[in-house]
Amino acid sequence: MSPWRHLQSVPRISDHTGSATAVKKVKSWYTECLSSHQLCLQASTPQLPTRVIRIEGPFKARVHTPGVERSEYACLSHRWGGQVMIRTTTLTLGQYSVQLPWDELPKTYQDAIQFAHALGFSYIWIDSLCQFPFLVICARPGFPQLTRS
């Protein structure tokens, strides 16, 4: 049976995820989640992952290595498709820890960071920027099965 069977479709809120109407609606869902869902009330503030993006403004973010800090954070779940995403490697970690090159980020990443910022999150986890050393599995003949960047 589908785990989504309890979800119902809702009327369209806005044409743009970043609109004030959309942000306000999602904030209200999040507030309701934290204040009235039995399981969510019992959840403690999570420890941040090994690496996470620290959001410092609507157009400013950097890779952060938090240690044992606890904080709520957003996660971007997305399809990679055939694109080679910008990613943190041994060569880029130093630069990205100071500031991510905003103009080089895919629009999906920019939108997710801006939306998380609008919702009040200070952190967001994005796989290609936060998994490090990045593991690439390639099954094509002639390519290594597993590589570390």
Q: Which residues make up the interface to Zn ion (CB under 5 A)?
A: 33, 37, 40
By C-beta, is 20 or 33 nearer to Zn ion?
33
In single-letter form, the type of residue at position 36 comes to S
Determine the Cα angle at 18 with ends 43 and 4, to 5°.
50
Least distance in Å: CB of 59 to Zn ion?
A: 30
* Residues 6 or more apart in contact with residue 18 via CB below 8 angstroms: 111, 114, 115, 118
By C-beta, is 40 or 135 nearer to Zn ion?
40
- By C-alpha distance, which of 36, 96, 90, 86 is closest to 60? 96
Least distance in Å: CB of 30 to Zn ion?
A: 8
By C-beta, is 35 or 145 nearer to Zn ion?
35
By C-beta, is 42 or 77 nearer to Zn ion?
42
* Residue recorded with tokens 């971007």: 76
Least distance in Å: CB of 39 to Zn ion?
A: 7
Determine the Cα angle at 29 with ends 26 and 35, to 5°.
140
Half-sphere exposure of residue 143: CA atoms within 13 angstroms, side-chain side = 9
